[in-house]
Amino acid sequence: MNEFEGMAFEAAFAELEETVRRLEEGNLSLEESIALFERGQRLAAYCSAQLDNAELRIRQILPSGASEYAEGIIAAEGSDIEGMGE
């Protein structure tokens, strides 16, 4: 079972943002930093998979001519995750 199974995308993303914030503060021990980094990596992968799934669902719902619209929506949502850590 996935440790994030059933977790809403928004909750996972909020936790990922908090994880990044804590890591950027730098007030953690090496072990705490590594543990947080590992969890952050898993959260990022989970969020990315959720976005991929949403993209697939949108593409299946919209008619083929509406793909440009769907790509605009997907790009806007995905830009938040892609910008993490910059």
What is the percent of the chain with per-residue pLDDT over 70, rounded to a whole number?
A: 72
The per-residue pLDDT for 62 is 76
Task: Give residue 53's pLDDT band: very low, low, confident or very high (50, 70, 90).
Answer: very high
Structure token pair of residue 65: 């001519």
> What does pTM read for this prediction?
0.72
Ranges of each domain in the chain: 9-80
How far is residue 77's CA from residue 10's CA, in Å, rounded to a whole number?
A: 11
The answer to whether residue 48 scores a pLDDT higher than 90 is yes
Helices (H), 5-66: 9-25, 30-61
How far is residue 73's CA from residue 69's CA, in Å, rounded to a whole number?
A: 7
Whether the Cβ atoms of residue 3 and residue 37 lie closer than 8 Å to each other: no
How far is residue 83's CA from residue 29's CA, in Å, rounded to a whole number?
A: 26
